[in-house]
Amino acid sequence: MAYTVFARKYRPQTFDQLVGQEHVAQTLSNAISADRVAHAFLFTGVRGVGKTTTARILAKAINCERGPTANPCNECTTCTEITAGIDMDVQEIDGASNNGVDDVRRLQESLPFRPARDRFKVVIVDEVHMLSTGAFNAFLKTLEEPPAHVKFVFATTEIHKVPVTIRSRCQRYDFRLIPRATIAQRVGEILEAEGVEADAESIALVAREAAGSMRDALTLLDQAVAFAGNTLVGSEVTQALGVAPQQLVRDVTDAMLGGDGRAVISGMRTVAEQGADLVHFAQQLTLWLRDLIVLNMSDDGSVVDLAPDELDAALAQARSCETLELQRTFAGLSTLVEDLTRAAQPRVILEMGLMRLATRPRLQDIGRLLSRLEQLERRLEAGSPGAGSPGAGSPGTGSSGTNNSTTRDSRTSSETSETRSTSTVAEPHPVDTSTAVKRAMALAGSKIDSPAGEATTTGETTTTSETIESHHSNGHATNPVSANFGIADGVAPDPRRSAVQEWEELISSLRDDRPGIAAVLQHAVPRVVSGDRVVLSFQKGSFYGRKATAPETTEAIETAIFSRFGTKPEVKIRFDADERSAERSVAVIEAKRRDARKDSLHREAIHHPIVREALQLFPASQDHVDVRVEADA
């Protein structure tokens, strides 16, 4: 006699034997007892939970010779033939291979005829979602108003693929996943009936790997019995099914949560040696962590689907860990499982991923961290600003050349301190006019010009004849040094002053009264700035240069020069500046000064003692510090 597998040998034959679907069995039993059996049913659920089995039981219940009855006898000819699948009035159709309009038409042609023997013709269509759109449409009229002697039962694992027009014509029954404990109990009963001894670990392993499907559980059980014989041991069952023992899952989880990287690697070596599927092992870890999180939040063992011995181990492990740490590990492990399914080297990816989860910094108590931060805040409020804080200098204006020189020297020193330039400026000291003239002539027309106020001999060079020729006012020659350094009324020149510095202070004064004009003139390159003459250069085609030639702009420059030196200058606008000389405009100089100041403040903030101490509280933020410096007004 041919061998019959457990899934067929122990298939339920009555509603009472239907395991895990009590809600369906109760409803159908009551409908049969009350003679309220619908003409069409739609059974939906995952594989192996009893959809087709229930359809056969329903067919026996309404056609049994002792019925209709909710408990078919399974002894009469009708029951035995339906069980064997040979009853001519009960048709089981595979929707995958009979999914066309012609198949449905042939079926419809046979429906008007009365059953050959039974009370009802029962049409069971398995995997009904595989029918074509045309086949579904052909079913609509017959399914809505079938002959009184016809019952339809549709079964599907993908209910979303069944048209709503079909669903609305059927009574829908959702078959649930069978709880693990229920599967374990049924597996134990079958092993006892077969005379096979098994320990609790092997039964729990089969129930867990079945993932809610009774048919899968019986198939795995068949495989395990074939491997181990009449005695099932947990270690042998894991080897037969190619899965990792649950104890190994718990050990790796313990190592991962405890930060023991060496134990993680050791556990992974054991998994690889046993030949277990690595993706499946990662999924086992994920499910186990899920159970730990649930048990950590609630000690009620009914909220998880675990066998009694596994439940005790899970409760002990869950109570030893913090909820946030479990949740963080679960999140990282879930991402790792997704990466593992696409990895070319699963073992390497899984090992390194588990090592990363095991060795990352532990979570710290938020209350303690907040307390330390409050202490830092109190120290910051009570402490004084750090040494070397940059000061702010404001330019002054006045009619006296001596006062202007003193104010400019003070401002230059303050700005140089702000920018922390590597070049330094000497303290102001009296300079003889003849010495200054000799020095200027020796430089052969080189301009003393530096954005930050330093005395340098670099920059754009003009000829001596151009320097001397360009400084005439009121019909007489003006001292070229006096013109370049903004000297008025015979005041002794300061060789550290330049046209750029004079122009910058004039722009500063214009910003108070004429901000729009100041915004245009700050892009000019000052060639000459004196009480007698102002020569400004722009790049060819410059928008600001065109604005600078406007009469109101020239008038504003003359007014500013008169307020400063008491004279009315000649204003000349040129378009001969190149990219290099354009860097000497006030706009570029101030931008560089602001950038230098921000860099200085950034360095001071990063190296401030309180900031360094705060970074020690959060070591993971060492490379992610964001320092924001407010822009100058």
pLDDT digits (tens, 9 = 90+) for 192-236: 998 998 888 888 889 888 888 999 999 999 998 988 888 888 878
Q: Using alpha carbons, list the distances in angstroms from residue 563 to 432, 465, 507, 529, 559.
A: 26, 30, 13, 14, 6
The pLDDT score that the predictor gives to residue 338 is 87
Measured CA to CA, the distance from residue 354 to residue 124 in angstroms comes to 49
Q: Which amino acid is at 230?
A: N
Whether 75 and 82 have beta carbons less than 8 Å apart is answered as no
Average pLDDT of the segment spanning 108-113: 90
Measured CA to CA, the distance from residue 267 to residue 248 in angstroms comes to 7
The pLDDT score that the predictor gives to residue 364 is 67
* 116 and 13 in a common domain: yes
Average pLDDT of the segment spanning 167-179: 93
Q: Is 579 a residue whose pLDDT tops 50?
A: yes
* 550 and 409 in a common domain: yes
Q: Is residue 92 part of a domain?
A: yes
Q: How many domains does the chain have?
A: 4
Q: Which amino acid is at 258?
A: G
What are the tens digits of pLDDT across the range 52-106?
999 999 999 999 998 789 999 999 999 999 998 899 999 999 888 888 899 899 9
Mean pLDDT of the chain: 77
Domain of 281, CATH number, reads 1.20.272.10
Q: pLDDT category, 437, cuts 50, 70, 90?
A: very low
Q: Is residue 210 part of a domain?
A: yes
The pLDDT score that the predictor gives to residue 1 is 52
* 439 and 350 in a common domain: no
Q: Is residue 379 part of a domain?
A: no
Of 151, 174, 197, which one is at a domain's C-terminal end?
174
pTM above 0.85, yes or no: no
* 93 and 213 in a common domain: no
* 294 and 161 in a common domain: no
The pLDDT score that the predictor gives to residue 227 is 87
Q: pLDDT category, 621, cuts 50, 70, 90?
A: low
Q: Is 429 a residue whose pLDDT tops 90?
A: no
What are the tens digits of pLDDT across the range 132-141?
999 999 989 8
Q: Using alpha carbons, list the distances in angstroms from residue 33 to 37, 56, 227, 275, 313.
A: 9, 17, 45, 53, 46
Of 152, 174, 196, which one is at a domain's C-terminal end?
174
SS3 124: strand
Strand-pair category, 231-232 with 197-198: parallel
The pLDDT score that the predictor gives to residue 620 is 66
Sign for the CA dihedral angle at 38, 39, 44, 49 comes to positive
The pLDDT score that the predictor gives to residue 239 is 81
Helix axes 101-110, 133-144, angle to 10 degrees: 20
The pLDDT score that the predictor gives to residue 229 is 84
* 251 and 230 in a common domain: no
Domain of 200, CATH number, reads 1.10.8.60
Helix axes 234-241, 214-228, angle to 10 degrees: 110
Q: Is 497 a residue whose pLDDT tops 80?
A: no
* 189 and 69 in a common domain: no
The pLDDT score that the predictor gives to residue 163 is 93
Lowest mean pLDDT among 348-352, 389-393, 498-502, 543-547: 389-393
Q: pLDDT category, 365, cuts 50, 70, 90?
A: low
The pLDDT score that the predictor gives to residue 547 is 81
Q: Is residue 386 part of a domain?
A: no
Question: Within its chain, how far is the Cα of 531 from the centroid?
Answer: 63
Measured CA to CA, the distance from residue 100 to residue 302 in angstroms comes to 47
Domain of 60, CATH number, reads 3.40.50.300
Q: Is 426 a residue whose pLDDT tops 80?
A: no
Q: Is residue 130 part of a domain?
A: yes
The pLDDT score that the predictor gives to residue 607 is 77
Closest CA to 480 of 533, 419, 425, 423: 533
The pLDDT score that the predictor gives to residue 164 is 93
Which comes out higher in pLDDT, residue 435 or 126? 126
* 26 and 147 in a common domain: yes
* 583 and 441 in a common domain: yes
* 150 and 75 in a common domain: yes
The pLDDT score that the predictor gives to residue 63 is 92
Which comes out higher in pLDDT, residue 62 or 380? 62
Closest CA to 318 of 297, 300, 298, 292: 292
Written as one string, the DSSP assignment of 257-325 is HHT-HHHHHHHHHHHHHTT--HHHHHHHHHHHHHHHHHHHH---GGGS---HHHHHHHHHHHHTS-HHH
As separate numbers, helices (DSSP H) first and strands (DSSP E) second, the chain gives: 29, 12
The pLDDT score that the predictor gives to residue 396 is 39
Q: Is 310 a residue whose pLDDT tops 90?
A: no
Q: CB-based contacts of 606: which residues, under 8 Å, 6+ apart?
A: 625, 627
What are the tens digits of pLDDT across the range 334-347?
888 888 888 888 88
Query: Could you tell me the residue range of the domain that residue 260 belongs to?
Result: 246-359
* 226 and 299 in a common domain: no
Q: pLDDT category, 36, cuts 50, 70, 90?
A: very high
182, burial (CB in 10 Å: exposed 0-12, middle 13-18, buried 19+): middle
Q: Is residue 294 part of a domain?
A: yes
Sign for the CA dihedral angle at 251, 255, 260, 264 comes to positive
Q: Is residue 492 part of a domain?
A: yes
The pLDDT score that the predictor gives to residue 629 is 62
Of 154, 174, 194, which one is at a domain's C-terminal end?
174
The pLDDT score that the predictor gives to residue 447 is 37
What are the tens digits of pLDDT across the range 143-166?
888 999 999 999 999 999 999 999
Q: pLDDT category, 482, cuts 50, 70, 90?
A: very low
SS3 544: helix
Which comes out higher in pLDDT, residue 604 or 183? 183
* 338 and 307 in a common domain: yes
Q: Is residue 367 part of a domain?
A: no
Question: Within its chain, how far is the Cα of 565 from the centroid?
Answer: 63
Lowest mean pLDDT among 306-310, 405-409, 461-465, 531-535: 461-465
Closest CA to 219 of 528, 6, 441, 47: 6
The one-character DSSP state at 386 is: P
The pLDDT score that the predictor gives to residue 567 is 82
Lowest mean pLDDT among 274-278, 314-318, 322-326, 388-392: 388-392
Measured CA to CA, the distance from residue 314 to residue 301 in angstroms comes to 9
Q: Is 464 a residue whose pLDDT tops 60?
A: no
What are the tens digits of pLDDT across the range 237-288?
888 888 888 888 889 999 888 888 889 999 989 888 888 888 888 988 998 9
